Structure 1
Amino acid sequence: MSHHDERTFVMVKPDGVQRGLIGDVVSRLEDKGLKMVGGKFMQISEELAHEHYGEHEGKPFFDGLVEFITSGPVFAMVWEGADATRQVRRMMGATDPQEAAPGTIRGDYGNDLGQNIIHGSDHEDPGANEREIELFFDEDELVDYELDAATWVYEDAGDH
């Protein structure tokens, strides 16, 4: 990982999987110049859902979150790039798809707050990306490699 790169956790939720949007989400992140370093098609267990949404435990919408995220398979990923967490959040759009700008993933595909297609680590929550990556991936499931296109994505990629 080069000095300005960061890793972030991204997940296509059950509604996105059911609607066949995995490819579109991956394409958008690739088009932006981010690099996928891990990917896993999986069914989230009740236990993992409780850990993932731990901060919301006890809130009225908690059970609904758990029920939804375990209702079908998800595609969990780790992406790498300069300021990756913030970049992905901007591409995802507002949490409520009704407020998400056209051109964002949620703005283009989402209609409902409960079903908003995608999850990405929160750039305003320090350490969220590392915490979520560790929850879903073992270190040996992440691949470190040079992306040849990086020199065309970042100005200084050729000289470090």
Structure 2
Amino acid sequence: MERTFCMIKPDGVRRGLTGEILARLEKKGFRIVALKKMRIPRELAERHYAEHKEKPFFPGLVEFITSGPVVAMVLEGPGVIAELRKLMGATNPADALPGTIRGDYATTIDENVIHGSATPEDAEREIRLFFREDEIVG
């Protein structure tokens, strides 16, 4: 069974989309095996986005993700990494299809409601960043 990391970003939490997004994830058949609402400390945000550290948008990315609470989770299911990416839609909401989370709810590329790991390696790293092993139940 594959696992991935998923996060409802501050804009999604602020806009009251948490319940709707969680319902869509469960209706898709993903099992939520870890879940917590949290404020991401700056140091964790910088580690999470470390691959973007030298890019000009890095400071804004860190500022945004630490601007309010997020809902972090671990999802489990067959092919969950690729399937979640499809359900989320394109990173730029202008390119996201209707029916995807970003297509339906995201407003800008900077505030696009949801994050999901891109690869198995990213999923493993991100899960370890946000959850202790004993917090994952499933």
Q: TM-score, length-normalised on structure 1?
A: 0.85
**Displacement of 1:58 after TM fit?**
1.6
Larger Rg: 1
Paired with 2:85 and 2:21, the residues of 1 have a C-alpha distance of 13
Pick the aligned partner of 1:52 from 38, 44, 48.
48
- Summarize deviations over 1:13-46 as a string: whole Å, max 9, x none: 0000000011111101100111000001000000
Structure 1: which 5+ residue stretches go unaligned? 145-160
Which residue number in structure 2 is paired with residue 139 of structure 1? Answer: 133
**Displacement of 1:111 after TM fit?**
1.9
**Displacement of 1:49 after TM fit?**
0.4
**Displacement of 1:82 after TM fit?**
0.1
Which residue number in structure 2 is paired with residue 158 of structure 1? Answer: none
- Matched ranges for 1:111-150 at <5 A: 111-123=107-119, 126-144=120-138
Pick the aligned partner of 2:67 from 67, 71, 74.
71
Structure 2: which 5+ residue stretches go unaligned? none
Paired with 2:37 and 2:81, the residues of 1 have a C-alpha distance of 21
Query: Structure 1: which amino acid aligns with 2:8?
Result: V
> Does residue 109 of structure 1 match 2:111?
no
In angstroms, what is the RMSD of aligned CA positions? 0.6
Query: Structure 2: which amino acid aligns with 1:109?
Result: Y
Query: Structure 2: which amino acid aligns with 1:136?
Result: F
Higher normalized contact order (CA 8 Å, seq sep 6+, divided by chain length): 2
Misfit runs of 4+, over 4 Å: none
> Does residue 16 of structure 1 match 2:2?
no
Pick the aligned partner of 2:58 from 45, 57, 62.
62
Which residue number in structure 2 is paired with residue 91 of structure 1? Answer: 87
Identity %: 59
Which residue number in structure 1 is paired with residue 76 of structure 2? Answer: 80
Query: Structure 2: which amino acid aligns with 1:111?
Result: T
Q: TM-score, length-normalised on structure 2?
A: 0.98
